[in-house]
Amino acid sequence: MELRDHGAVDQVVVVDASKDGTGAIAARLGAEVHAQAGLMPSFGRVLGKGDAMWRSLSVLTGDVVCFVDADTERFGPHFGCGLVGPLVVDPEAQFVKGFYRRPFRLGDEVAPEGGGRVTELTARPLLQLFYPQLAEIRQPLAGEIAARRSLLEQLPFATGYAVEIAMLIDAYELAGFDAIAQVDLDERQNRHQPLSELGPMATEVLRAVLDRSGIVERPPMASLRAAA
């Protein structure tokens, strides 16, 4: 809210689907809160994060839009200022990704590196193979994104976990590499997913990259029959 109060941003919107009172807390602090299920209900139920981001455009009014994840610890005003900065000072910039260090926390122990496992083991290797120019993007799965609304309205938002890498590739295809900027946001700490939940996330990222690269998924193999 500090950035809005100082005139750096015009609108602070929280799209809420939580059951822990997050929406009420955000509203009490001055945010404009919208229930996720109430955005564009004629399109049916919300199909994950990317779908919620796309529907949020229906209530966002600015020519520049900044998305940030809600689970970032020690969130500061440098996130918003840093992300929109390139769009304000460079008329050629259209799409901005944040990057940061990702400490890995296990209980009370914090290692300086090790977070972002799907990024390092899936997303970045895929970009190196299929979109080598985008391999320079340090955090392709970062939820910290800013873009011109005119570009966002042309992007086919992926519905689930793959929305960030899909947006990056689609922005690259539409606007070119020179329209993409990166901003150092220092450090991001959030709750780490258990290893068992990373496989489905990695699969979504893999599917999005293969789909955009034109590679058709192979049909599932038939189960082998047990020997008599």
pLDDT value of residue 142: 92
Q: How far apart are CA 183 and CA 185, in angstroms?
A: 6
More confident residue, 150 or 193: 150
How would residue 7 be classed by pLDDT, with cut points 50, 70 and 90?
A: low
pLDDT value of residue 227: 45
Spatial neighbors of 175 by CB under 8 A, at least 6 apart, are 94, 95, 151
Q: How far apart are the first and last CA of the chain?
A: 69
Q: Please compute, for residue 80, the number of CA atoms within 13 A of its CA located in the half-sphere on the CB side.
A: 18
DSSP 38: G
Per-residue pLDDT at 28 exceeds 80: yes
pLDDT value of residue 105: 60
Q: What is the mean pLDDT of the chain?
A: 87
Q: How far apart are CA 106 and CA 86, in angstroms?
A: 35
E runs forming strands in 76-223: 95-101, 104-106, 109-111, 145-148, 180-187
Per-residue pLDDT at 53 exceeds 60: yes
Q: Which residues pair with 187 in a beta bridge?
A: 101
Q: For 71-120, what is each residue's pLDDT tens digit?
A: 777 778 888 999 999 999 999 999 999 998 877 665 566 555 655 789 99
Tokens of 15: 């799209």
Compute φ and ψ for 85, nearest 5 degrees.
-50, -55
Q: How far apart are CA 206 and CA 123, in angstroms?
A: 7
Per-residue pLDDT at 219 exceeds 70: no
What CATH number does domain 45-213 carry, 3.20.20.70, 3.90.550.10, 1.10.540.10, 1.10.10.350?
A: 3.90.550.10
Per-residue pLDDT at 125 exceeds 50: yes
pLDDT value of residue 192: 61
Q: For 164-211, what is each residue's pLDDT tens digit?
A: 999 999 999 999 999 999 999 988 765 666 777 788 999 999 999 999
